[in-house]
Amino acid sequence: MTRMPLVAGNWKMNFDHLEATYFVQKLAWLLRDAKFDYSRCELALMPTFTSLRSIQVLVEADNLKIRYGAQTVSVTSQGAFTGDVSADMLAQLGCTYVIVGHSERRKYHPEDDANIVDQVRAVLAAGMQPILCVGESYEERRQGIELEFAVGQVKDVTRDLSEEEAAKLIVAYEPVWAVGTGMVATPDVAQDAASAIRAHIRSAFSDRTAEDLRILYGGSVSSKNAQELIGQPDVDGFLIGGAALDVEELARIARLTLKATTRG
């Protein structure tokens, strides 16, 4: 595989800045002891806004290779938007990635496709990479329209992007029924969705952009299922919720991903 695998931890609303700092230190120690090769597998953490500055200070002081980012972003750049955080503010904190359109944001906040397109644009304009979350609920799967649905979400968001913008996108296929439920998608289900998403990017943009696009799987990933999932040709890494709150488990998943993707 030529695409660099990415293991990203989505902490959601967990850990204050002290807990976050301790976690990052411990993760760095565990992976140093395991001689983890960050040049062959990227590792990123998405804490709450309140932990970003502490993580930035630690990463810079200790010259850590761990990347980090945010879980959402404002679509505006500044002004009277109480509670919002702009993309430029995140870029100033050294964020590499921003999760956009996570199913929990779509559910609990008024984030529709138009808002998600604007978030993607804001993230790109600030020089970061959006991790766009898509995926069907149980109902769409029951109706057998899961692939149309997930690909449709990608289509809606990428429709007006230039090829250059699309090339910076990362897509996370996260079936809603698998998020936080312990019901992980089978490797075939993850592969079918990832392959359908890649095929859409190929037809909408180019072979090159499709081949370079990183597609993550998310939804109840753990060290028990990571190896099989990453073995799929179109799955390039993970977006991990619950298992990313356990530092040893996250380090295990990162090592399994690295091992599986550098074999041979």
Binding site for ligand PGA (CB under 6 A): 10, 174, 179-180, 218-221, 239-243
- On whether 242 is known to bind a ligand per the annotation, the reply is yes
The one catalytic residue among 104, 140, 174, 249: 174
- The percent of the chain in helix, strand and coil, each rounded to the nearest 5, is 50, 15, 35
Host H or E run for residue 171: strand 170-173
8-state DSSP, 48: -
Task: Tell me the H-state helices in the chain.
Answer: 17-33, 49-61, 87-92, 103-108, 113-125, 138-143, 146-158, 163-166, 187-204, 207-212, 226-230, 247-262
CB-nearer residue toward ligand PGA: 73 or 179: 179
Residue 111: active-site member: no
Closest contact distance (angstroms) between CB of 174 and ligand PGA is 6
The one catalytic residue among 42, 102, 104, 200: 102
CB-nearer residue toward ligand PGA: 58 or 100: 100
Tell how strand 6-10 and strand 42-46 pair up. parallel
Q: Decide: 239 and 174 in contact? Cβ < 8 Å.
A: yes
Alpha carbons 205 and 76: distance in angstroms, whole number: 27
Q: What angle do CA 243, 221, 109 make, to 5 degrees?
A: 80
CB-nearer residue toward ligand PGA: 177 or 205: 177
Closest contact distance (angstroms) between CB of 242 and ligand PGA is 3
Closest contact distance (angstroms) between CB of 176 and ligand PGA is 9
- Token pair in block for residue 214: 């990183």
Which residue do the tokens 């090159």 mark? 208
- On whether 63 is known to bind a ligand per the annotation, the reply is no
- Token pair in block for residue 260: 């599986």
> How far, rounded to the nearest angstrom, does the alpha carbon of residue 2 sit from its chain's CA centroid?
18
CB-nearer residue toward ligand PGA: 12 or 255: 12
Position with the least CB separation from ligand PGA: 241
CB-nearer residue toward ligand PGA: 118 or 246: 246
- On whether 54 is known to bind a ligand per the annotation, the reply is no
Closest contact distance (angstroms) between CB of 236 and ligand PGA is 15
- On whether 12 is known to bind a ligand per the annotation, the reply is yes
- On whether 86 is known to bind a ligand per the annotation, the reply is no
- On whether 177 is known to bind a ligand per the annotation, the reply is no
| Close Cβ partners of 164 (under 8 Å, ≥ 6 residues apart) | none
Closest contact distance (angstroms) between CB of 89 and ligand PGA is 23
Residue 102: active-site member: yes
Alpha carbons 34 and 29: distance in angstroms, whole number: 9
- Across the chain, which distance is largest between two alpha carbons, in Å? 54
- On whether 241 is known to bind a ligand per the annotation, the reply is yes
Binding residues for substrate: 10-12, 180, 220, 241-242
Catalytic residue annotation: 102, 174
